Amino acid sequence: MPSFDTIIIGAGPNGLAVAHRLASKGAAVLVLEAAATAGGGAGLAHLSYNLDPRVEKAMGLAAHGLEWASADLATTALSPDGNHLRLEGPVGERLFGDVSDADRAAWSTLRARLLRFAAVLSPLNQMAPPRIAKGVGNPMLKLAMIGIKARMMGAKDFRELGRIILTNAHDLLDDELSDPRLKGALAFDATLGGWLGPRSPNSVLPWLVRLSGQVAGKQGALGLPKGGMAALGAAMVKATAAKGVTIRCNAAVERILVEGERVAGVILAGGEEIRAARVVSAIAPKTTLLSLVGARHLDAGLVTRARHQKARGGAAKLHLTLRAAPDFRGANLKDRLLIAGSEHDVERSFNPVKYGRVPERPGMEIMIPTAHELKPDGKYHLSAIAQFAPHAPADRVAARAEMLAACLAQLEANAPGIGALVEDAEILMPYDIEARYGLPGGQWHAGELSVEQMLFLRPLPGIAQYKGPVPGLWLASAGCHPGGGVSGSAGWNAALAMEAAG
């Protein structure tokens, strides 16, 4: 067995990104992946919104097979009466449908403002959060630079950013717009992947973080790779292997070995021990600290903070195989289709989930990749993210069945007859996602991306710069800054932090 100086736990987008960067700097890297195939949550995802341009370029993903079926998907906000709204261009640059002139003008102003604010925040994605600690040079320097950039927007925008960053998505939308379909679609986007409704405090900031992503150089755009998101994961795997990294699947890490108060390697389920001086965990920080390292190697305060870290997933994933193309009352099947209703419907779908119950009418983000790449057998694959879904209901089997029925009813209301086309249906609840992908609570970001768990508070105060609490241990997953999505940002930032540490 060859020896490795670095072991990476998890072959998701972040594990692969960090492995690639470290190997290109000369490290001998072994990636250990619990699942039978590498790629992690790229197989769960169905569109791209924040692939890190540094990662895309340095990994040469295009040369390893990444091609966009669409690098700028349009969104159709579905209406059960067929009176749909269509948003074309990044973040609905062009709006089609019977919307009032006043709403069109208000949306154009609000959209431009949101994109400006998101652009100010986007450099944060590509840096380690500053350390807020006594005796650390000038920890606020990096933040100050962002502050200066924000200030350069002018006094009016600067004040407005300060105001909306602390507000909630519902109030912001309600202040500016009146069309319930438009407000519903935007409220859905603002809360996608979170455990919060549009009326929850601070629901604008995570939305701005989402809008700071890009596809093929266009901020706020949404992309579909040819072959789906799994193909993006496969391109990352190929690029990493081409750098000489060994990726071992079916290799679940059970424990991180700590000897003499520093990391010495890992132990796999089954007992195999693999030694290395550096271990990078690209799985959720909470699991890493509490299960793999173990409380006895950690400071008691850190253990408490890790236990209190919030990781509640609110999104379920639906896969349908359809005998033929569905008809969403004339909507273009190549679009991202949203069943959001109004901003109130989005809030209503979150309410029962707070108490562990299934919503009657979950919102849905639907993709039909077959519309972009037809299959010889004529079957259609429909993928949907349905939210909200409870992560810890009292009866998991019943909640899964109830959620599937609620999703199918939502689809039937918007695409009459679709139920009769279903050949196969699978729904993954947040707890199924946890079991299959190792994301605690099935949480999109491997730990909620809420204001109190962002930046230098992410994953936890004191370990926000990717350096773990035990020498030789590093953290690199979506649970670290800047959060999740198939981006590779946290992995790349972690590699840079390791290089800086020498």
Residues that bind ligand FAD in the complex, under the rule CB under 6 A? 9-15, 32-35, 40-41, 44-49, 252-253, 282-283, 313, 315, 317, 385, 433, 437-439, 442, 444-446, 477-478, 484-486
Report how far residue 8's alpha carbon sits from residue 466's, in angstroms, rounded to the nearest whole number. Answer: 13
Judged by CB, which is closer to ligand FAD: 22, or 446?
Answer: 446
Neighbours of 47 (CB within 10 A): 22
- For residue 316, is it left (φ>0), alpha (ψ between -120 and 50) or beta? beta
Shortest Cβ 407–ligand FAD spacing (Å): 13
In contact, 31 and 8? CB cutoff 8 Å: yes
Query: Which C-beta is closer to ligand FAD: that of 198 or that of 213?
Result: 213
Closest CA to 199 of 177, 180, 173: 173
The phi, psi pair for 279, rounded to 5°, reads -125, 125
Structure tokens at 463: 């370990």
Residue 207: alpha-carbon gap to chain centroid: 12
Nearer to ligand FAD, 121 or 433 (CB): 433
- For residues 151 and 411, give the distance between their C-alpha atoms in angstroms, rounded to a whole number: 45
Least distance to ligand FAD from the beta carbon of 387, Å?
A: 8
Task: Output the DSSP codes for 414-465.
Answer: HSTTHHHHEEEEEEE-HHHHHHHH--GGG-TTSS---GGGSGGGSSSTT-TT
Residue 352 CB, shortest distance to ligand FAD, in Å, is 18
Scored b (16 or more CB within 10 A) or e, 8-18 reads: bbbbbbbbbbb
Nearer to ligand FAD, 253 or 421 (CB): 253
Q: Kindly tell me which of 41 and 198 has the beta carbon lying closer to ligand FAD.
A: 41
> Which CB atom, from 161 or from 289, has the smaller least distance to ligand FAD?
289
Least Å distance, CB 222 to ligand FAD, is 9
- Residue 377 CB, shortest distance to ligand FAD, in Å, is 25
CB of 445 to ligand FAD, least distance (A): 6
Query: Which amino acid is residue 130, in one-letter code?
Result: P
The nearer residue to ligand FAD, 169 or 433, going by C-beta atoms, is 433
Question: Nearest approach, Cβ of 3 to ligand FAD (angstroms)?
Answer: 19
Size of the chain, expressed as the number of residues it contains: 502
CB of 312 to ligand FAD, least distance (A): 11
C-alpha distances (whole Å) from 129 to each of 142, 238, 454, 496 are 8, 30, 9, 12
**CB of residue 314 to ligand FAD, shortest distance in Å:** 9
Q: What angle do CA 304, 193, 93 make, to 5 degrees?
A: 140
Rounded to the nearest angstrom, the gap between the alpha carbon of residue 43 and the centroid of all alpha carbons in its chain is: 12
* Residues 340 and 353: beta-carbon distance below 8 Å: no
The CA distance from 309 to 441, in Å, is 11
Q: Toward ligand FAD, which CB reaches closer, 445 or 467?
A: 445
Q: Which is nearer to ligand FAD, 137 or 271 (CB)?
A: 271
Task: Name every residue whose Cβ is closer than 8 Å to that of residue 257 and which is 6 or more positions away in sequence.
Answer: 263, 264, 265, 266, 267, 273, 275
Least Å from the CB of residue 123 to ligand FAD = 20
Residue 386 CB, nearest distance to ligand FAD (Å)? 8
Measured from the CB atom, the residue of 95 and 475 that comes closer to ligand FAD is 475
What are 402's two structure tokens?
């109830």
Q: Is the dihedral of CA 383, 386, 392, 395 positive or negative?
A: negative
Residue with Cβ nearer ligand FAD (180 or 441): 441
